[in-house]
Structure 1
Amino acid sequence: MKIALGSDHGGFHLKEVIKEYLKDKNYEIEDFGAYDTSSIDYPEIGEKVAIAVKDSVADKGIIVCGTGLGISISANKVPGIRAALVSDTFSAKMSRAHNDANILALGGRVLGDDLALEIVEAWLNTEFEGGRHGIRVDKIKDLENKYNK
């Protein structure tokens, strides 16, 4: 599985921790920045990761900014993206199982490294359940189509 990673300067440290973790688990990674702690705007990175997921350059994405809020809002502007801002393992599992989230958003200034890695693990190892949840995800897609004409 290929994972697109991205962060702004506020999420850089956590992105690097996640990148090493994913490498150790033999995931293929494409890093869209930030590449250091120099100031960078999260909308640019959120868009790059979202486009990679939308265009199937990557199977899933993980994005990080200081709180995870701005970068998740930005990524969710790209049609077809369901970026979930998560701060616990239960929500990570439910974002995949019930919402088919294709991007995980995290807050680098909000989460400790250990909890963030537990969230990543839970998110990557949970499959979408489909069924009644598929009907609801289709309704999300319908809303997206309705307002993106």
Structure 2
Amino acid sequence: MKIAIGNDHAGTEYKLAIVGLLKSKDIEVTNYGTDGTDSVDYPDFAHPVAKDVENGEADMGIVICGTGNGASMTINKHQKIRGALCWNKEIVALAREHNDANILSLPARFVALPQALEMVETFLNTKFEGGRHERRIEKVPCT
């Protein structure tokens, strides 16, 4: 499995911990995020993550910014992306099961780091249910 990850300055600590978690599971990671805390623009890191997932160069993606909103809005401008802004593991599970989310957007300023790591675990381990949910996803345009 290959995961693309991107973050702005608000998400650096979270990104570093998540990369460590992913690597401990032998998951290949492409890091598009900043490793510093100087102010940067979230689209510069969210777009490459979305492009990798869109083009099949990554299986899934994770984006992290202060609220998760800016990164989520950015990734969802791309075709084939179903980005989910989540704030607990239950929402993550439903985003995977019902919406087949392929990029997780995390709000670093609004969830604790242990909670974010649980959310990543849930994102990786939850499968899409298909069925009636497939019909609904097909009604969402990819333009």
**TM-score normalised according to structure 1 size:** 0.93
1:43 aligns with 2:47: no
What are the residue-to-residue correspondences of 1:82-93 with 2, within 5 Å? 82-93=82-93
SS at match of 2:63: strand
Q: Distance in 2 between matches of 1:11 and 1:27?
A: 20
Residue 18 of structure 2 aligns with which residue?
18
Q: Which amino acid aligns with 1:28?
A: E
What are the residue-to-residue correspondences of 1:59-70 with 2, within 5 Å? 59-70=59-70
Residue 6 of structure 2 aligns with which residue?
6
What are the residue-to-residue correspondences of 1:104-119 with 2, within 5 Å? 104-119=104-119
Across the aligned residues of Structure 1 and Structure 2, the Cα RMSD in angstroms comes to 0.9
Q: Which amino acid aligns with 1:91?
A: I
SS at match of 1:98: helix
Residue 33 of structure 2 aligns with which residue?
33
SS at match of 2:3: strand
Residue 122 of structure 1 aligns with which residue?
122
- Please report how far the alpha carbon of residue 41 of structure 1 lies from its aligned counterpart in structure 2 after TM superposition: 0.4
Q: Which amino acid aligns with 1:103?
A: I
SS at match of 2:4: strand
- Please report how far the alpha carbon of residue 38 of structure 1 lies from its aligned counterpart in structure 2 after TM superposition: 2.0
**TM-score normalised according to structure 2 size:** 0.97
Query: 1:87-140: CA deviations, max 9, x gaps?
Result: 111110110010000000001111111100111111110011111100111111
- Please report how far the alpha carbon of residue 49 of structure 1 lies from its aligned counterpart in structure 2 after TM superposition: 0.3
Q: Which amino acid aligns with 2:45?
A: I
Structure 1 residues not aligned, in runs of 5+: none
Q: Which amino acid aligns with 2:135?
A: I
Q: Distance in 2 between matches of 1:90 and 1:112?
A: 15
- Please report how far the alpha carbon of residue 79 of structure 1 lies from its aligned counterpart in structure 2 after TM superposition: 1.2
Q: Distance in 1 between matches of 2:55 and 2:105?
A: 19
Percent of counterpart pairs with the same letter?
Answer: 45
Q: Distance in 2 between matches of 1:34 and 1:69?
A: 18
Q: Which amino acid aligns with 2:91?
A: S
Residue 101 of structure 2 aligns with which residue?
101
Residue 132 of structure 1 aligns with which residue?
132
